[in-house]
Amino acid sequence: MPEGLTQLSLSGTYLRMPRLLDGDEALDDSSVVESAVASLVARHHIAEGWAVDAVLPAGWAALHPASGPRTGVSGLGDVELGARYELGALWGVGGYNPSVAVRLGVALPTGARVTSGSAAAMPNALRLGTGAFNVLAEVRYTQFLERHVALAVGGDVRQALSSDGDGRTPGFRAGAGLDVIVLPIDWLVLRASLQYQYMGRLDGGAGGISPNSGGNWLRAEAMALFRLGDHVSVGATARGPLYVNVNGRQLVEQWGLGALVAVSLGGADDEEDEHDHDHGGGHGHDESGHDEHAHDESGHDDHGHDEHGHDEHGHDEHAHDDHAHDEHGDDEHAHDDHAHDDDDHDDRGADSDEATPRAGDVVDAATGGASFALADALARGRITVVDFWADWCPPCHEIDAILRSLAARYEGLAVRRVEVPSADCEAAREHLGDDTRLPQVWLFDEHGELIERLVGPGPGYVRSRLEDMLAPRAAAAE
């Protein structure tokens, strides 16, 4: 993701829990727990691959018992602070390169609760969050199988470091998920998920180990995300349990519905717009769905846990609200169609290299995957960048924006763009060989000698590498 990009999302989930289980056996009961939680998520990308985030959940939960008064609670859930690293920054995310995102965080004991009995009678309470300090770790791996289909797998663990206000320590928690992501058109992302979750028992306090907490859940979830513009996306989710086996007796969810709005601000695209280049500087999916920031909009890679706790019926403490961080129009979050207007580009071809050097020398050496002569494309007497790109590759568009910016600043730089729409096109067969990963940026010196081949580089690295080469030459020329 571009340095300086900020992503904001507001998601909400409504859960209805009318099923009373003893283990996995259904019991007759007319009590119902309802909850609605909204989460404001902010993520800021501070450097290549690195980001920090904060999750602020708030909402309400209410018990409608078969007999007796209604009990409810409202307020904050467990506020989360986290740091995230995209390992793809090491090898470049784009084309069919994998994305691996790792997040570490801490949850603060800010969750609201209301008790309907003494602490010794816990878990007689409704909760928003655990009300205890927790540390958490999450990892998510995403791999595109072809232009419009990807698979993602992820997992998370959470361990309490303190007890709650009633002297109880939440149990260890773990989860795993498998997603199938489909991008049928440029403004729509679809996701189908299968999620497993384990939650250990509450422990400690005057009542000892509680039998009415924790268990195992297997859920299915579907999501649709719509891109309204380059920086705004909206989405909707639906979920339901496929199998539940709880500790003791608990009310568990029957179904849940969610909605989200995601906005992205700043980043490389805004920076490059200052140079008035006609290009897409986006940072999410393009029409193939290749997402530089781990396909966050299509997954639940950074989900907080808004646990809705027990009442006297032993209600599901962990009604799991997946905060779709990555459903942020990156991307995460979300589906940026980088439409280049090639008519505005200089289309003189490689023969123009003999012309007088000028600022902003950016030329299409080959379009549509056509063959070209590399030697003819090089600009003698200047640093030449041969940029192999494709319209379906979002990092390619970010690198294109950076190269245009640098070409406008340094007269000693020539950029030669080579479009590679597929691995079997003539340009790929003649020049890329077996390694057809994109983007690829080849650097040549003033004498036409190859300096370096950058395969799948991050946009920030391309900028810094070229500036290190060009700035001393520009200073010497002055």
pLDDT in tens, 354-398: 334 445 799 999 999 999 999 999 998 899 999 999 988 888 999
- Please indicate whether residue 190 or residue 324 has the higher confidence score (pLDDT): 190
Mean pLDDT for the chain overall = 78
Per-residue burial over 345-383, b = 16 or more CB atoms within 10 Å of its CB, e = otherwise: beeebbeebeeeeeebbbbbbbbebeebebeebbbeebb
In the predicted structure, residue 349 carries a pLDDT above the cut 80: no
DSSP tag of 157 = E
pLDDT at 88: 80
In terms of residues, how long is the chain? 478
Are both 6-327 and 342-477 of the same fold? no
Domain 342-477 class in CATH = alpha beta
pLDDT tens-place string over residues 421-434: 888 899 999 999 88
Fold annotation for 6-327:
Porin (2.40.160)
CA separation for the pair 166, 189 (Å, rounded): 43
Q: What is the pLDDT of residue 235?
A: 97
Q: Which residues contact 250 (CB under 8 A, 6 or more apart)?
A: 20, 21, 212, 213, 215, 310, 313, 314, 315, 316, 317
Q: Structural domain boundaries of the chain?
A: 6-327, 342-477
Question: pTM, whole model, 2 decimals?
Answer: 0.63
The rounded distance, in Å, linking the Cα atoms of 271 and 444 is 26
Q: What is the pLDDT of residue 208?
A: 59
When pLDDT is cut at 50, 70 and 90, the band that residue 450 belongs to is very high
What's the mean pLDDT in 299-318? Answer: 37
**Stretch 227-256: mean pLDDT, rounded?**
91
How far apart are the C-alpha atoms of 203 and 198, rounded to whole Å? 16
Q: In a 10 Å sphere around its CB, with 0-12 CB exposed, 13-18 middle and 19+ buried, how is residue 65 labelled?
A: middle
pLDDT at residue 125, rounded to an integer: 57
